[in-house]
Structure 1
Amino acid sequence: MPPITLWFLQASRSIRIAWLLEELNLDYDVKFYDRMKNMKAPPEFKESCGNPLGKAPSLQDGNLTIYENKIKVLQWIHAAEATFTLHALAITYARWTIPEHGKANGDLETMEKGLSVNVQKDLDWLETELSLSPGPFLCGDKVSAADTMMQFSINFMMKTGLGTKGGNWPNIEKWLKACDETESYQRAVRKTGHKI
Structure 2
Amino acid sequence: MIVVHHLNNSRSQRILWLLEELGLEYEVKRYERDPKTMLAPPELKAVHPLGKSPVITDGELTLAESGAIIQYLTDTYDQNALAPAQGTAQRLEFIYWLHYAEGSAMSPLLLKLVFNRVESAPMPFFIKPVARGIAGKAKSSFIEPQIRQHLDYMNDHLAATGWFVGDEFTAADVQMSFPLEAAAARGGLDENWPHLIGYLRRIHERQAYQRALQRGGEYDILG
Scaled by the length of structure 2, the TM-score of the pair is 0.78
Distance 1:96 1:24 in 2: 38
Q: Which residue matches 1:16?
A: 14
Q: Which piece of structure 1 moves more, 168-177 or 149-158?
A: 149-158
Q: Residue 95 of structure 1: CA displacement?
A: 1.6
Distance 1:177 1:54 in 2: 32
Question: For 1:85, which of 91, 101, 106 is the aligned residue?
Answer: 106
Q: Residue 140 of structure 1: CA displacement?
A: 4.1
Count of paired positions:
188
Question: For 1:143, which of 151, 169, 174 is the aligned residue?
Answer: 169
Distance 2:214 2:130 in 1: 37
Question: For 1:112, which of 117, 139, 158 is the aligned residue?
Answer: 139
Deviations, residues 38-61 of structure 1 (Å, cap 9, x unaligned): 0100112222xx212111100011
Contact 1:103 1:109 in 2 (8 A): no
Distance 1:46 1:82 in 2: 23
Q: How does 1:1-196 map to 2 (within 5 A)?
A: 3-36=1-34, 37-47=36-46, 50-69=47-66, 70-98=91-119, 99=121, 101-102=128-129, 106-114=133-141, 115-133=143-161, 136-160=162-186, 162=187, 164=188, 168-195=192-219, 196=221
Q: Residue 68 of structure 1: CA displacement?
A: 2.3
Deviations, residues 121-174 of structure 1 (Å, cap 9, x unaligned): 0010000100022xx4222454312111111111012112x2x27871000000
Query: Secondary structure, in 3 states, of the residue corresponding to 1:132?
Result: coil
Provide the aligned C-alpha RMSD in A.
2.0
- Counterpart code for 2:155: E
Query: Secondary structure, in 3 states, of the residue corresponding to 2:3?
Result: strand
Larger CA Rg, structure 1 vs 2: 2
Q: Which piece of structure 1 moves more, 4-13 or 141-150?
A: 141-150
Contact 1:137 1:179 in 2 (8 A): no
Change (3 A) 1:104 1:54: closer
Q: Residue 111 of structure 1: CA displacement?
A: 2.2
Contact 1:6 1:58 in 2 (8 A): yes
- Counterpart code for 2:13: I
Contact 1:102 1:108 in 2 (8 A): no
Name structure 1 gaps, 5 residues minimum.
none
Q: Residue 77 of structure 1: CA displacement?
A: 0.8
